[in-house]
Every structure is written in structure tokens, then in C-alpha cells.
Amino acid sequence: MKPRTRAWVAALAILAAGCGGTSSSPSAQPPPAPPVQTTAVLVGAGDIAMCGSPGVEGTATLLDSIEGTVFTSGDNAYFQGTAAQYKNCYDPTWGRHKGRTRPTPGNHEYETPGAGAYFDYFGSSAGPRGQGYYSFDLGAWHIVSLNSNVLASDGSAQMQWLRDDLTGNRSRCVAAIWHHPVFSSGQNGPNPFMRDIWRALRELGADVVISGHDHIYERFSRQDENGRPTSDGLRSFVVGTGGAELTSMGRLSPNSEARQSNVFGVLKLTLRPDSYSWQFITVAPGTFSDTGSDSCR
């Protein structure tokens, strides 16, 4: 028999591979995981749905063209937060965005016992029934939605929950939303009973606070729970311009950097891994604008 040539041996190897032999080809790999979302949008307002107000349809129309997660900063359905008011005033307008909304309750929700209609309408998105505080991650940010209508002082269940939640948080940037503003130049502020929460947020590294209650828009520079300017303080926004009748300004509060009480609108926050930018968007024909950016602490 003639000696086997190299070509003949190679041919046998190819045939063996085709018949189930060992192949040197790499096995199929699973598709790569989608990249983590690094930029997100949080947009919304408080003091929203009053039947007959042109403002509520105007702000809902703004949301129609803005992608992202919608927040409410309380007093979502006027005047008593009943099931009928959610059905007739909120649902035809902001209800178009219910599936992407993260709500917060206001004092008008509690004019219905236990804010029952609020929890019924939003379901699990409103957090545990009877508590109304919860958290979620959005892009690289951690967001806490708090309830300023129940106890929030040191030693309260809500305060303990907040400290536990933020102690376990791994995000660099944190925002908090609740209804009653600690600082405001409107007629319903300030509200010092939320100062313990403010102090805890500052100690635990939060960056931004969003509130409503006063039917105005206002932005404050970074400050501590006592209103003292400080680089490790929280920047806050009062956004009570969702659609209910606007109110006039009261006495100007220290550290207020921008404010208006003449036009409805929404606050849009663009959240990045280590910074954020803000834009107040008005309902036409309003011309007020407030924009800016800042880094997380």
C-alpha cells in the first residue's frame, strides 16, 4: 500500500468532521446583553386635574410629545381625590400616560379617607397601600417617592424605610419627590415638618427634591434643611403647575433662583450617570423658560 500523503490525511479529517467528528469551529454564543440605559428622562408636575381647567389638557398635551417616565407631585385630582374625579378629570388627560407614571399623593387625595381612590386608580404603582412611599431606579438614578401626608419625622416608619432604602442604594445620583415643599415662595409654604426628611436625604447623598402644593414653579439653589446655602445641599423644584388654577407668589424665600406663577407647564429632568439638566416647558402661548444643569454630589 502506498504511504498516506498529507493531502489524503487532510481529506479524511474533513470527512470525519462532516460526519460528527470533532470540529475546531467555535460554538454559537448567546447575543450580548443590551447596554444599560445611561440617560433617562423624568417629566411631570403636581396640582393637576381640575375638571374644566384648560391647563390640565395643555400639560397632558405636552407629555404626549415627551418620552420618558412621568411623575406627579401630588394633588392629582381635584378637589377631594375621589374615584369620580380621577375618572372624569385625571383619566381623560394625564391618564393617557398612566402606564409610564410614577405618582405621589397630595393633601387633596386624603380628603377621600385613606386616599383610597388614589391607591385604587394607580394600583401597585402607588406603593404599598396606606403607606404611599416607594422607590425605583431610572437609568443610572435612584428615585424615592415619599408621602408628606403621613408621619415623616425622625423615628417614623417612613423615615426608617427611607434610611434603609438609601443605605442599600448603589446609584451615585438620587432624586426625591413629595408634595409639601420645605421651601417655597408660594402662599402654602414653607413646610418645615419635612425638614427631618431633607436632612436625612442630605446625609445620605441625595441631589434633587421635587414638590408641588403651591401652584407655581420655583427653583432653589442647593441648601441644607435650615435654608443655608451649601455645596452639599439639595437643589429643589416646586412644580405645582400641572393644571389646577394657578396662585400668586407670596414672600420671596432665600436662595430662590427662578420662579413664575402665570403659566402652566411641566418640569423635564434629563438624568445622566453623574449629572442632570432641567427644563421647564410651558403650555402655549407661555414664554417663560428655565433651563440649567448640575453635577451629582
Q: Is 10 a domain residue?
A: no
CATH number of the domain that residue 283 is part of: 3.60.21.10
pLDDT of residue 38: 85
The mean pLDDT of 270-278, rounded to a whole number, is 98
Q: Is 208 a domain residue?
A: yes
Predicted confidence band of residue 120 (pLDDT cuts 50, 70, 90): very high
Report d(CA 64, CA 67) in Å as an integer.
8
Q: Is 22 a domain residue?
A: no
Q: Is 159 a domain residue?
A: yes
Q: What is the end-to-end Cα distance of the chain in Å, rounded?
A: 82
Q: Is 135 a domain residue?
A: yes
pLDDT digits (tens, 9 = 90+) for 193-222: 999 999 999 999 999 999 999 999 999 999
**SS3 (DSSP) at 178:** coil
For residue 194, give the nearest of 74, 99, 292 by alpha carbon. Answer: 74
Cell of 253: 424665600
Q: Is the pLDDT of residue 7 over 60?
A: no
pLDDT of residue 25: 43
**CB-based contact 73:178 (threshold 8 Å):** yes
The number of distinct structural domains making up the chain is: 1
Strand partners, 134: 145
* Angle between the N-to-C axes of helices 195-203 and 157-167, in degrees from 0 to 180, rounded to the nearest 10: 20
pLDDT of residue 220: 98
Q: Is 21 a domain residue?
A: no
Q: Is 179 a domain residue?
A: yes
The mean pLDDT of 28-48, rounded to a whole number, is 78
Q: Is 14 a domain residue?
A: no
Q: Residue 280's domain spans which residues?
A: 37-295
pLDDT digits (tens, 9 = 90+) for 39-85: 999 999 999 999 999 999 999 999 999 999 999 999 999 999 999 99
pLDDT of residue 114: 98
* Residue 294: alpha-carbon gap to chain centroid: 17
